[in-house]
Amino acid sequence: MTLTFSEPVTTQVGAVRVFDAEGRQVDAGDAGQVPGDATVVRVGLRDDLADGTYVATWNAVSVDGHPISGAFVFGVGAAGTADDRAVAALLERSSAGDARFTVLADALRVLVYGGTLLAVGAVLFLVRAHDGRGQERALLVRVTRAAAGAGAVASSPACRCRGRW
């Protein structure tokens, strides 16, 4: 099964889960992005899927770093209908373990924005502080480098939650 997004996304282990009508997981647990296309996520399904109604839930991180999630119902063969409450419960169950994921994404955003703002501010002080005070200038240079480094590392693709949790 493939999911196509309107913008590039990143995923983690368990990003896409598929459940049968009884709430049993029927995906192969191998969700991941299609190489070369960051807008497509693929997950394998068991070969022995019976006719019926299934619910797919997904969690990803959008290109701007925000966690996104959703669910949809699909059928195989003679499918029935899905109970809205059951779908909501599966989506909640699928997202319940992602609290640490959301906290990490928020922390990375703070590092990106905070590091970038601090680096820009320190550069402005360096430009204006041309009176030659060596120790203060050296401190500003170190702060600028550290802040720019933190912002750069936190905004790198490796920190955009591509890692396996």
Residue-wise pLDDT tens digits, 8-44: 888 776 678 888 877 888 888 788 888 899 899 989 8
What are the extents of the domains in the chain? 2-97, 102-159
pTM (two decimals): 0.56
Tell me, rounded to whole angstroms, the distance of Cα 158 from its chain centroid: 11
Q: Which long-range contacts (CB under 8 A, 24 or more apart) does 155-163 make?
A: 155/108, 155/112, 157/10, 159/108, 160/10, 160/61, 160/65, 160/108, 161/10, 161/12, 161/61, 161/101, 161/104, 161/105, 161/108, 162/10, 162/11, 162/12, 163/12
CATH class assigned to 2-97: mainly beta
Task: List, for residues 135-165, the tens digit of each pLDDT value.
Answer: 777 887 888 888 888 877 776 655 544 433 3
